Amino acid sequence: MEQHRTRRPQPRQRPQDTLPARGALADGTVYPVPARPPRPAPPVVLALRRLPNPRLTGLGAGLFGATVMLVLGGLDQLLLGGSAVVYGLLFLSVSALTALWVREADVVMAPVIVPIAFAVGIVPISGGDGGFGGQTMAVVTALAVHAGWLYGGTLIAGLITCVRKVRMMGRRQRRARAAQGPGRSGEGGTGGRTRQS
């Protein structure tokens, strides 16, 4: 009776890299490769980096927005007689600053904080009289009349919040990939050795 020999498959050997390393010639001489100079940042980015960059909690951002808008509304009433356009433009800038300065953990609070700050700040320029009821009706009327500024500031805060959230998620994914990268290659190499033995 004839028996066939079974031969164990030999692991394939990878061919050696025949190309020289970057900056090296075929004879082994190594020359330094000059590094690329970093690209200069645009002037707008440089100007934004010079601004203060506090990190406010959700409560701190709410207090910041409400206090600043109340002060600006009072100044608008004293100096300009309650100009709605000036108040609206100031509100847009405060909305952007609030969304930029709130910390990452509370970044979703910015679009909620901004309308509250608008309502608090509009009290001085609403022009109500006749007690609490008259003042309340004046504030409600001013909110309805100047709703465009309110929506605009909330939209700005929402857009800034979305951009910050997307960038934050991208940074987390890059960190996770960097943390998992070496571990995966080590596990693959060990598993391959186990199968061969």
What DSSP assignment string belongs to 40-91? PPPHHHHHHHHS----B-HHHHHHHHHHHHHHHHHHHHHHHSS-HHHHHHHH
Q: What is the pLDDT of residue 7?
A: 61
* 54 has pLDDT over 80: no
Apex CA 66: angle with CA 163 and CA 130, to 5°?
Answer: 140
Paired strand residues for 56? 102
Residue 196 CB contacts under 8 Å (≥ 6 apart), including other chains? 11
Contact 100, 85 (CB under 8 A): no
Q: What percent of the chain has pLDDT over 70?
A: 71
Q: What percent of the chain has pLDDT over 90?
A: 30
CA nearest to 154, candidates 65, 82, 67, 72: 65
Q: What is the pLDDT of residue 124?
A: 87
Q: Is 17 exposed, middle or buried (0-12, 13-18, 19+ CB in 10 A)?
A: exposed
Sign of CA dihedral 154, 155, 161, 165: positive
CA nearest to 162, candidates 172, 173, 154: 154
Q: What is the mean pLDDT of the chain?
A: 79
CA nearest to 61, candidates 97, 88, 93: 97
Q: What is the pLDDT of residue 57?
A: 87
Confidence of residue 195 (pLDDT cuts 50, 70, 90): very low
* 181 has pLDDT over 90: no
Lowest pLDDT segment from 11-20, 80-89, 132-141: 11-20
